[in-house]
Chains A and B, each alone.
Chain A
Amino acid sequence: MTDNIERLVGAMPGTRGLLFGIMEFCREAKEPAQVDAYVTEQLQFYTSVHSPVEFRSFLEKAGALDFLPAEAPEDGADELEEAGTDGQRDSDDATGGTDAAEEKVYATDFPVDEDGFLIPAPERAGLWQTSEQGRAYLAGIDYQKRFDELLSADPPLSGIYYLILELCSDEPQSIDELDAQLKAPLAAVGSKKHAGFFVELLEGYDALKWEKKWKTTTVGRELLAARKEE
């Protein structure tokens, strides 16, 4: 079931690309510090107040990421393993988490000092990896179908979308640069829209991303390539 992942992505549209990016990044298991470094680097392109640790937590609770303990504790090791690998942490709320799942984790992995007090900063030792559900979710997205639906909503503008992907594929473009280059093509199809209109949609359809300037994503390049093959 990928409903929780869908719910999480839907609840955080502004960081949709980052959530997908983390799932792609963690297809091969990564150290927590590697994930956090990736997210920290990406956060310069997103307006988000959430920390790298929070993003890991959101994706874990939604079932998109698995935590693979480096060395399972002797007591309750099976429970922790189970909670980390087979989606036991799925919840009705993508950002929530069931009590049972939380208890399983907390019961085994919080270090305590000799006086019975919790020791702060209990970073669990282990790796983060995109779960089977996360992979299934990514594999289940039909980018071409979604894009075709976008184009069919206003066929005369299809060429504009492709033109933007082409332009941003050659070299990242600012919105002003795109506006200047789209002026004539838009006038030719009788549209008074500006680049911002198209860019926002293309970003939502995962074909463009903002990295100080607008840049065509891998998905966008594949959409372009598919059109050229037609």
Chain B
Amino acid sequence: MSSFDDRVDLLSDDEAKAAFEDALRARAASYAMLQRLFAKELDQDYLDQMTSMRLKASTGNDKVDRAYRLLSSFLGSRWERTLTELAVDYSKVFIGSGKSAYEAAYPFESVYLGEERRLMQEPRDEVLAEYRAAGLAKLDSFLDCEDHVAAEFEFMRVLAQRTLEGYRAGEADRAVELLEVQRRFIREHLARWLPKLSADMQKFAQSDFYRFLALYSEGFLETDSEFLDDVLEEN
């Protein structure tokens, strides 16, 4: 019997099962938010949604705590040009002017783990293989490469959602397999380059919003890794 099955057995209490299901739902939602925030500039609708979020002061992860304080501060100082301000900062942080490979936090795994900070290197082929193995393909509407951080977070979101659905359906083995894939993907991809991307984002960002995103993405990945290790009982 897998460790996940054990976990399910341990969670025979309805309340505990509901809490575990909440945790699975929350991590899927977090990956969805990360995908959205990295994919494109903020719009009014999403800004309004973020404004209504409740941010825990103490989460147990220092980076997430600092990120939430930055976000709280940022949301508290919104003004009429906030969206323009953020669009400019998004461009500064992720796009730059293209003069060199070191003047922005280019959000591609190939840039950070490939040769000479270039696009379309081996890491892109590796994540593409992972997507295909999961039966996924990039939408034509998403114009960036497969190893864009938003694509990698979307991959995690899809798998997290499948895990949630599997758990709800009582398919424990399927859920374990999916969690194992997610843990491996974090270890082999996201955890190897996201901290570097986060450091660059903090270097180039002028708004607290993108400093929040840098710290939050790094902190959340740490907590999710711990969650996966805990659930799969492999620390």
Residues of A that sit less than 8 Å from B by CB: 49-54, 57-58, 93, 95-96, 102-103, 106, 110, 112, 116-123
Contacts and interface: CB of A to CB of B under 8 A. Distances in A.
6 contacts: A51-B77, A53-B79, A96-B203, A118-B72, A119-B72, A122-B76
B172 to A, nearest CB: 33
B57 A50 contact: no
Nearest to B81: A49
B69 interface: yes
B206 interface: yes
Interface in B43-99: 51, 54-58, 66, 68-69, 72-73, 75-77, 79, 81-82, 84-85, 87-88
- B76, B77, B202: which has the most chain A beta carbons within 10 Å? B77
Contacts of A119: 72
Nearest to B77: A53
Given A49-B85, A110-B57, A117-B54, 13 more contacts: A49-B87, A49-B88, A50-B85, A54-B206, A58-B206, A96-B202, A110-B69, A110-B72, A112-B57, A116-B56, A116-B58, A118-B69, A121-B75
Contacts of B81: 49, 51
Interface of B: 51, 54-58, 66, 68-69, 72-73, 75-77, 79, 81-82, 84-85, 87-88, 202-203, 206-208
- The list of the 3 closest CB pairs from A to B, nearest first, reads A121-B76, A53-B77, A112-B57
A118 B206 contact: no
A97 B207 CA distance: 12
Contacts of A120: 51, 72, 75-76
Given A49-B84, A110-B57, A116-B57, A122 B73 contact: yes
Contacts of A52: 79
Nearest to B205: A95
Nearest to A102: B66
Nearest to A43: B81
Nearest to A93: B203
Nearest to B57: A112
Given A103-B66, A106-B66, A50 B56 contact: no
Contacts of A103: 66
B196 to A, nearest CB: 16
A118 B58 CA distance: 9
A122 B66 CA distance: 14
Contacts of B72: 110, 118-120, 122
A54 B210 CA distance: 13
Contacts of A96: 202-203
Contacts of B202: 96
Contacts of B56: 116-118
Nearest to B80: A51
Contact of A51 (B58, B69, B75, B82): B82
A106 B69 contact: yes
A117 B57 contact: yes
Contacts of A106: 66, 69
A120 B50 CA distance: 11
B102 to A, nearest CB: 14
Contact of B206 (A95, A110, A117, A121): A95
Contacts of B66: 102-103, 106
Contacts of A95: 206
B44 to A, nearest CB: 16
A117 B55 contact: yes
Contacts of B85: 49-51, 54
B207 A54 contact: yes
Nearest to B71: A118
A54 B81 CA distance: 12
Contacts of B206: 50, 54, 58, 95
Contacts of B207: 54
Nearest to B89: A49
A103 B62 CA distance: 10
